[in-house]
Amino acid sequence: MIQFDDVVKKFGDHVVLSDLSFTVKPGEFVTLIGPSGSGKTTILRLLMTLETVDGGTIQVGGEYLSHEERDGRLVTADEKHLRRMRKRIGMVFQQFNLFPNMKVLQNITEAPVRALGLSKAEAEQRARELLDMVGLSDKVDAHPMQLSGGQQQRVAIARALAMRPEILLLDEVTSALDPELVAGVLNVLKQIAETTDITFLCVTHEMQFAQDVSDRVMMFDQGRVIEDAAPEKLFTQPEQERTRAFLQAVIDRSA
């Protein structure tokens, strides 16, 4: 469902991704771990077409994300292609970024009406189902400001799902939350992962969560995936010393 082939990404002289290759299969839940500043967010931003590659290719569902084949050659895709590809992918960020001037329901119906062409009634029905799913049926008419951080993040998750993405990208979605609100958000994500066929690529420092929900965990460092294994293997018997040191550092920090 996601395929990176020799992807290079630089900011000026700073090479963030060097010949990065990995795949994520349809329906898989893959967690990406690694030190701060190593390029995890950049990988997700490339998939959202918020950044462009400097080399290599990315494919989503067997189609090039930001390239098109023309006369047997790969060329940069046009805006129409990008718009179509973007609709297949949703993202939830550390900062929830809800529209502060809109009620919860409108936050969720806005994009499906505008970008998918759903009728207002269809979008509202879908939004109510999603709010039910994330445990916020009673907050339909609330404004984001009236919600806790955990509730806002669950609205952000519902908003992403309202676009019916095939892929959901999660970037440290609980990092900005008070500790007591983290579990509620993680439980919602776990439930979505278990009850839908959405493909997940998740960046998190919540190692217990990662171990519970992931099909695969990739340890990422210095622009490359240095270890890629089932969670029970990677968290208990990592092969790389770098992985071991990183996991220990995360445990020490949260202790």
Widest distance between CA atoms in the chain: 57
CB of 234 to Mg ion, least distance (A): 20
The reply to whether 38 sits near ligand ADP by the rule CB under 6 A is yes
The reply to whether 77 sits near ligand ADP by the rule CB under 6 A is no
Among 212, 201, 253, smallest CA distance to 43 is for: 201
Q: Of the listed pieces 36-44, 56-64, 175-183, 206-214, which binds ligand ADP according to CB under 6 A?
A: 36-44
Per CB under 6 A, the list member of 39, 112, 144, 231 interacting with ligand ADP is 39
Q: Where are the alpha helices (DSSP H) in 10-148?
A: 40-47, 79-86, 104-115, 120-133
Residue 66 binding target from Mg ion, ligand ADP, none, CB below 5 to 8 Å by type: none
Q: How far is CA 162 from CA 24, 64, 253, in A?
A: 22, 24, 35
CA-CA distance, 127 to 135, in Å (whole number)? 12
CB of 32 to ligand ADP, least distance (A): 9
Cβ atoms of 165 and 192 within 8 Å: the answer is no
Site for Mg ion in 34-53 (CB under 5 A): 40-41
**Contacts by residues 103-107 (CB-CB < 8 Å, ≥ 24 positions apart):** 103/140, 103/141, 103/142, 103/143, 104/131, 104/136, 104/139, 104/140, 104/141, 104/142, 104/143, 104/144, 104/147, 104/155, 105/131, 105/140, 105/141, 107/144, 107/155, 107/159
The reply to whether 42 sits near ligand ADP by the rule CB under 6 A is yes
Tell me, by CB under 5 A, how many residues bind Mg ion.
2
Tell me, by CB under 6 A, how many residues bind ligand ADP.
9
Residue 42 binding target from Mg ion, ligand ADP, none, CB below 5 to 8 Å by type: ligand ADP
Nearer to ligand ADP, 38 or 214 (CB): 38
Site for ligand ADP in 4-23 (CB under 6 A): 11, 16
The reply to whether 243 sits near ligand ADP by the rule CB under 6 A is no
CB of 122 to ligand ADP, least distance (A): 36
CA-CA distance, 202 to 170, in Å (whole number)? 5
Cβ atoms of 86 and 160 within 8 Å: the answer is no
CB of 11 to ligand ADP, least distance (A): 3
The reply to whether 204 sits near Mg ion by the rule CB under 5 A is no
Cβ atoms of 168 and 200 within 8 Å: the answer is yes
CB of 142 to ligand ADP, least distance (A): 31
Nearer to ligand ADP, 166 or 221 (CB): 221
Q: Which residues bind ligand ADP (CB under 6 A)?
A: 11, 16, 36-42
Q: Which residues bind Mg ion (CB under 5 A)?
A: 40-41
